[in-house]
Amino acid sequence: MYKFKHTKYGDLTGKTSYDIDVNSFNIESLEGCPKEVIGLFNVSYNFLENLKYSPLKIEGDFNIYGNKIKDLKYFPKIINGNVVLANNKLTSLKGIVKIIKGNFDINSNELKNLDFCPKEINGYFDCSNNKLETLEGCPEIINSDFFCYDNNLKNLEGSPKKVGSNFFCQHNKLTSLKGSPLEVGSSFNCFTNNLKTLEGRPKIIKDIFNCKKNPELKNIKAQIIKYQIKAKSYETDEGSFTFEEIKEEFENYNKIKLKQQLELKNNDYGFGI
């Protein structure tokens, strides 16, 4: 078995080391790894099945992309950079740290849920191309992009409440946008799903709303107005248009709705208008 200690770094057991990069070294074990790494720790594209002998502390990024990791037992206690666990065989996040100080990438694994997910992620979060049936367990706030495309999601329950940049939920089985974030800092992409309605949409989208390739989604512009989906521009199967092009209809609908609500409230109290 080819181990870390057989690489150019030698046996660093119990020691502190600077950047470690053993990308594509065919190692099957981390035996001989240092206790602490000041900088990058990259063991991508190897044949690792577990994290036994991992460093306890990594001051930079932790990259184990493209291995055969099935669980996160022996995960480092402290990581101060990005965490890239993509293209492994993970079925659970049990053992992960609670705070990710950079990006968190777990795409292309075998996850069915996000149990034990970190409570705070300060960069982007990519959980795309798994087997997720729910987003329950997500942090409430993602400061950058959120990727959950290519899963088995039927709704967005459990989504972060606020996403700092783009939200990508395309190529799922969504029939509803229920559970969407309240605010998306850039574009919201829900194309190529099974949507019939836009009910449950985000309240704030600061760039593009893309709902193309939802064959059963009809009267899209009317639904955008009805559900008050305010974005800079819209990409739909009924055409592309900007908010400025529908602004008058959008605001008139809102005024009518508010008037109806006021009338109903006054009637409840026995007042007429």
128-143 pLDDT, tens digit each: 999 999 999 999 999 9
- What pLDDT, on a 0 to 100 scale, did the predictor assign at position 257? 75
Q: Give one DSSP letter per residue of the chain, joined into a string.
A: --BGGGSTT---TT-EEEEEE-TT----B-TT--SEEEEEEE--SS--S--TT--SEESS-EE-TTS-----TT--SEE-S-EE--SS--S--TT--SEESS-EE--SS--S--TT--SEESS-EE--SS--S--TT--SEESS-EE--SS--SS-TT--SEESS-EE--SS--S--TT--SEESS-EE--SS--S--TT--SEESSEEE--S-TT--SHHHHHHHTT---SEEEETTEEEEHHHHHHHHHHHHHHHHHHHHHHHHHHTT---
Residue owning tokens 């790894």: 33
pLDDT at 245 over 50: yes
In the numeric block, which tokens belong to residue 193? Answer: 């799903």
In the structure encoding, which two tokens stand for residue 188, read together?
Answer: 């919201």
- For position 223, what pLDDT does the model report? 96
Higher pLDDT, 179 or 267: 179
Whether 129 contacts 148, CB under 8 Å: no
- What pLDDT was estimated at residue 263? 60
Rg (CA), the chain: 23
Beta-bridge mates of residue 189: 168, 210
HSE at residue 257, side-chain half, CA atoms within 13 A, is 10
Residues 1, 88, 25, 58: is their CA dihedral positive or negative?
Answer: negative
Q: Of 182-196, 199-213, 246-260, give the lowest mean pLDDT range.
A: 246-260
How many other C-beta atoms are found inside a 10 Å radius of the C-beta of residue 88? Answer: 23
d(CA 174, CA 135): 12
% of the chain residues with pLDDT over 90: 92
Q: Give the model's pLDDT for residue 66.
A: 98
23: tokens are 């990308």
> 17 pairs with which residues across the strands?
37
52-110 pLDDT, tens digit each: 999 999 999 999 999 999 999 999 999 999 999 999 999 999 999 999 999 999 999 99
Burial class from Cβ neighbours inside 10 Å (0-12, 13-18, 19+) for residue 268 reads exposed
pLDDT at 15 over 90: yes
Q: In this predicted model, what pLDDT tens digit does every residue of 21-63 receive, in sequence order?
A: 999 999 999 999 999 999 999 999 999 999 999 999 999 999 9
